[in-house]
Amino acid sequence: MEKVKITINNKTLEVPREYTILNAAIEAGIRIPTLCHLDLHDLKMVNRTASCRVCMVEVKNRPNLAPACATPVNEGMEISTDSLRAIKARRMAVELLLSNHPTDCLICPRNLRCELQSLAQELNVREIHYSGVKSDYHLDTSSQAVVKNQNKCILCRRCETACNEIQTCGILSALGRGFHTVVGPAFNLPMVETSCTYCGACVAVCPTAALTEVNHVPKVWEALHNPKKYVVVQTAPAIRVALGELFGMEPGTIVTGKLAAALRRLGFDQVFDTDFGADVTIMEEAKELIHRLEHGGKLPMLTSCCPAWVSFIEHQFPDLIDIPSTCKSPHIMFGTIVKTYFAEKNDIDPNNITVVSVMPCVAKKAEAARTELALDDHNNVDIVITTRELGDMLKEAGIDFDKLPEEDFDHPLGETTGASVIFGTTGGVIEAAVRTVYAWLEKKDLDRIDFKELRGIEGLREATIPINGQDIKIGIAHGLGNARHLLEEIRSGKKDYHAIEIMACPGGCIGGGGQPYHFGNDEIVKKRQQAIYREDLSKKIRRSHENKEVLEMYKEFMGEPYGEKAHELLHTYFEPKERI
Active site residues: 285, 288, 305, 325, 364, 367, 372, 509
Asked if 382 and 268 count as a contact pair (C-beta separation under 8 A), the reply is no
Cis peptide before 516 (omega within 30 of 0): no
Do strands 270-273 and 230-235 pair parallel, antiparallel, or not at all (unpaired)? parallel
Asked if 202 and 217 count as a contact pair (C-beta separation under 8 A), the reply is no
Cα 73 from Cα 60, distance rounded (Å) = 12
Residue 410, classed as helix, strand or coil, is coil
256 Cβ partners below 8 Å, 6+ apart?
Answer: 240, 406, 535
Cα 131 from Cα 109, distance rounded (Å) = 25
CB atoms within 10 A of CB 394: 21
107 Cβ partners below 8 Å, 6+ apart?
Answer: none
419 Cβ partners below 8 Å, 6+ apart?
Answer: 278, 279, 282, 431, 432, 435, 436, 536, 542, 543, 544
Which backbone phi and psi does 111 adopt, to 5 degrees? -55, 130
The Cα-based distances of 348 to 345, 489, 511 in angstroms read 8, 49, 36
Angle, helices 115-122 vs 84-99, to 10°: value is 140
Cα 459 from Cα 522, distance rounded (Å) = 13
56: phi > 0 → left, psi -120 to 50 → alpha, else beta; which?
Answer: beta
CB atoms within 10 A of CB 343: 18
The Cα-based distances of 170 to 151, 185, 197, 317, 576 in angstroms read 22, 8, 11, 14, 18
Do strands 353-359 and 383-386 pair parallel, antiparallel, or not at all (unpaired)? parallel
